[in-house]
Chains A and B, each alone.
Chain A
Amino acid sequence: MKHSFLDRYSDGDSFMHRLDPRTKFGTALLFILAVALTPPGSWRAFGLYLVIITALLLPARVPILYILKRSLVVMPFVAMLAIFIPFFKGGEVAGSYNVWLWQLTVTYSGIQVLINILLKSWLSILSLIWLTSTTRLPDLLQGLERMRMPRVLVMLMSFMYRYLFILVDEVMRMKQARDSRSFGGRSASGGWQIRTVGNMIGTLFIRSYERGERVYAAMSARGFDGNIRTLNHLSFRLSDALFGMGYSLILIFVGIFSQLY
């Protein structure tokens, strides 16, 4: 079935795809950190960050429309968390409204903080999209392991990634079966729907658990000793060193610029 929403485009080939996962993870994190440290209201710095991340996303040959869609899908949730901010910051009043029992006051500094937070979130999301749409998750995990992430966690995540697609397939089949039996119709009672979803997840749990047991049995029959060996080795090349150093310098420069002006 279709689950192309999971790390789509990460299998492509471009300069960005060929960089070492460690380089990309480190610089993506540095970008998010630099954005987070930008003082509110330094619009020029935000503009520069947008230019930088666009310059990184374009050579990755990932469709712009996909990136925009992808980054805006999460924004409603971000906005939900941030929506109250303009009403509760002190400062010069921009407008005042009477809504039923409440007197709502919007301040300029509140609006500034709101836009500031939304911009920061969006830029950080773009940086994450750059990272994950140019890096295959297994490679990223291998890179994280070399960067001292605990082995158990890395292995858990590798197995999770491997079986995710199978279980998502399973869920989609169950969903299709459920929806073709008119789930969620107006006549359906809430209790019945809860029980249906409960049964589905329960079934999914049992199937997953049994699958996990079979996987483990099959692996130990083939001599699994807790280590995963791979022929796919990471290599930190000259281009990684140059890209990493250049990008970091630019970020540090913009960071200092945003603190000064």
Chain B
Amino acid sequence: MHIPDGFLNVATVATTYAVSAGGVGNAVRIANKKLGEKQVPLMGVMAAFIFAAQMLNFPIAGGTSGHLTGAALASILLGPWASVLIMTCVLIAQSLIFQDGGLLALGANILNMGIIASFSSYYVYRLIMSLMGNNKRNMLIGSFAGAWIATVLSASAAAVELAVSGVSPLHLVLPAMAGVHALIGIGEGLITGAVLGAVLAARADLLQLKPI
């Protein structure tokens, strides 16, 4: 859920910008070290891929449709720091091109949908893979769980930010956001798993890339 401008108070804007700047700065440092600047074109195309994949919507019950957010997919395929960079680019572009998510709220949105979503999904996926063993079935379970948790956690973080800004009380907005996104997360999880299954069937070597 993209937070628009007008919702967050100045303290929250400043705090989330500081945290996101630190996280993205670290991602930039790590990418510079591990990639050199040579693989920047590849990562840029990957950011365009996430952007384009978000345009593929699928019908959900009741005439509504949903689409992928992609943080979990990017972090499982390419690694959490790469995913932070990619999601940062996607979120900046969404804010500038589609006015989806505000400019002052950008720090909060990068924190929720970039940093929190990437790391939570990546480590949940890794945890499940290492606990249950590395095979196709567990990979699908891991990616489902990772994407679901990422969706719920980033919505919960958004709820906390809204509550801290005094928009609505925490005991109402947190269960509401977490509840709705627990449902949305099922779609995100199923699609993420289906994508990984398709990649595994066609180019399994791409899943063995060294995560960044």
Contact = CB atoms under 8 A, between A and B. Distances in A.
A57 B89 CA distance: 27
Contacts of B194: 194-195, 197-199, 201-202
Interface string A170-186: 11001100000000100
Contacts of A220: 38
Interface stretch (B29-37, B119-127, B128-136): B29-37
A206 B202 contact: yes
B69 to A, nearest CB: 12
B58 A124 contact: no
Given A81-B162, A174-B56, A197-B58, A124 B197 contact: no
B152 interface: no
B117 interface: no
A205 B38 contact: no
A168 B93 CA distance: 14
Interface in B18-32: 24-25, 28, 31-32
B197 A201 contact: no
Contact of B4 (A78, A155, A163, A212): A78
A84 B6 contact: no
Interface residues of B, number: 76
A132 B52 contact: no
Interface residues on A, range: 35 or more
A15 interface: no
B210 interface: no
Contacts of B172: 84, 88
B62 interface: no
In terms of DSSP, what is the predominant structure of the interface of chain A? helix
A81 B167 CA distance: 10
B56 A168 contact: no
Contacts of A203: 198, 202
Contacts of B187: 194
Nearest to A178: B56
A194 B4 contact: no
A33 B9 CA distance: 10
A44 interface: no
Contacts of A118: 6
B185 interface: no
A160 B40 contact: no
Given A170-B52, A197-B194, A202 B45 contact: no
Interface of B: 1-8, 10, 13, 24-25, 28, 31-32, 36-49, 51-53, 55-56, 58-59, 68, 73, 77, 85-86, 88-90, 92-93, 95-100, 102-104, 162, 167-169, 172-173, 176, 187, 190-191, 193-199, 201-203, 206
10 contacts: A36-B5, A81-B4, A163-B48, A175-B56, A198-B191, A202-B199, A202-B202, A205-B77, A206-B206, A226-B36
Interface of A: 6-7, 28-29, 32-33, 35-37, 70-71, 74, 77-78, 81-82, 84-85, 88, 113, 116-121, 123-125, 128-129, 131-132, 137, 140, 150, 152-153, 155-164, 166-168, 170-171, 174-175, 184, 193-206, 208-209, 211-213, 215-216, 219-220, 224-226
Q: 10 smallest A-B Cβ distances: which pairs? A: A198-B194, A159-B44, A202-B198, A120-B6, A226-B37, A124-B5, A212-B45, A212-B42, A208-B49, A167-B52
